[in-house]
Amino acid sequence: MARIVSVVARTVRVPLDRPTAFANRQVLARDYALVKVRTDDGLEGIGHCYAGNFGGKVVTLAVRELLAPHLIGKESTEVELLWKELYQEVLLHGRTGSVMRALSILDIALWDVNAQAAKLPLYRYLGAATRDPVPAYGSGGYYLEGKTPEMLGEEMASYLALGLQGVKMKVGRLDPAGEEKRVAAARKAIGPDALLLLDANNAWHDVPTALRYCERFADYDPYWIEEPFSPDQIDNHAKLAERININVATGEIEAGRWRFKELLDKGGAAILQTDAAVCGGVTEFKRIGAMADCYGVNMCPHWFHDLHLHLVAALPNGEMVEYFADDQVLNFRRIIDRQLKIVRGKGLALPTDPGLGYSFDEKVIAKLDAEAWA
C-alpha cells in the first residue's frame, strides 16, 4: 500500500533535425507532455505522451489544474477506482484529445510506480503473456526533400538488416502513380516475404479515392493500410475494408473503449493500433485489448516502443510494436535514459528492470527549454 504524495508535469519541445512530411502535414518539432507521480514509499512513476507540434502545454495544464489535485493522498494501487474518478473529471473537458492524454499519462505513471513497488517489469506485473522478445517492425519511410524511391527502398532494407520483423512506410502524399513507384521500390528492396506496412495518416476523405491508391498497392502484398481516413470516418474504414484485400489498421488517435467498440462492430479495423498514451492509459488499453480479442483483432500499438513493448507482451492478442530505429522522427528517444535492445530475427528484448524500466534524462530535458516541473 502506498499513498500518492506528489504529481508534477512539464512540457518538452524537441526540434526535428530536418523538416519531415507525412501525407497531409509537415513536422518541425514535437511536444511531449511528461508527468512524475511519487508515492510515500519513495518511488516515482513516469508517464509521457506526444502532444503535436505545439500542444504540450494544453496537456500539462490539464494534469495540473484538473487531475493532479484529485490524486494527492490516494492509494496508488487502486487504478480502476482512480481511473473512474479521473474520467468523471474529464467528462466535461475532453473524452478524447489532450485532456484524455493527460488522464492517460497519469494512469501510465501509476502502473509504473505500482510495478516498481512489486519489483517487477511492467509486463510481468500485468501478467506476462510471453517470455520471448516482442516482434517489432521498423517504422519510417517519410517524405524528405530529394528522397527518391530507391533511397526509400534502401531505408526499408536497413530496418530488416537490424533484425526487425517488418517495415513501414508513409503513403498518400503523392498521386497514385507516384505512390506506386515508392511502394514498388520498398517491396523490391525488402524481398517478397518481409512484412510491408503502409501508413496513410488520414490522407483520404472518400472511398473511391482510397480505392484508386489501394488497388495499385495490392500488387505489392502489403500486410496493412493504416489510417486511410480520419478516425471519425468509421463507416469509410468499414467500406474500404470490404472492397480491398489489404487489412485495415487504425486507432492511434482514438480514445475510450466505446469508440473502439463502434469501430470493431462496424468492421472498420482488422488490426488495432491503440496507443496507451492517447486512449486512456494502461488501464483502458487492457480493456480495449481484451475486447478486440473477442473480434479476432490483434493489438499493434502506435509508437513509444519502450512503453508498448510491455503491453504487447502482457496481452494474448499483442502482436508487435512499432520501432523507430533512429531518433530523427521519434525524437522522444533522446529524452529517456535507456534504450531497448534488438534480438536479431526475434524482436525487442524484454527489459528486466522494475516498472517501465526507463526514466527521463533530466540533463537532456533541462537543455531543451525553460519550463520547470510543477
Question: Which residue ranges make up the site for Mg ion (CB under 5 A)?
Answer: 199
Q: How far is the CB of 228 from Mg ion (least distance, A)?
A: 11
Nearer to Mg ion, 199 or 254 (CB): 199
- All three cell numbers of 100, joined, read 484524455
How far apart are the C-alpha atoms of 268 and 239, rounded to whole Å?
A: 8
Measured from the CB atom, is 110 or 330 closer to Mg ion? Answer: 330
| CB-nearer residue toward Mg ion: 37 or 277 | 277
- Of the pair 253, 342, the CB lying nearest Mg ion is at 253
**H/E element, 59:** helix 56-61
- Residue closest to Mg ion (Cβ): 199
Minimal distance in Å, beta carbon 249 to Mg ion?
Answer: 8
Quote the Cα angle for 345-346-349, to 5°: 125
Q: Are strands 271-272 and 247-250 parallel, antiparallel or unpaired?
A: parallel
Q: Give 197's contacts (C-beta < 8 A, 6+ positions apart).
A: 137, 166, 167, 168, 169, 222, 223, 224, 226, 249
If we measure between CA atoms, which residue out of 204, 243, 245, 201 comes closest to residue 226? Answer: 201
> Terminal CA-to-CA distance of the chain, rounded, Å?
25
Q: How far is the CB of 22 from Mg ion (least distance, A)?
A: 8
State the minimum distance, in angstroms, from the CB of residue 91 to Mg ion: 28
Decide whether 155 or 199 has the Cβ nearer to Mg ion.
199
Residue 353: CB minimum distance to Mg ion, A: 28
On the CB side of 243, CA atoms within 13 Å amount to 15
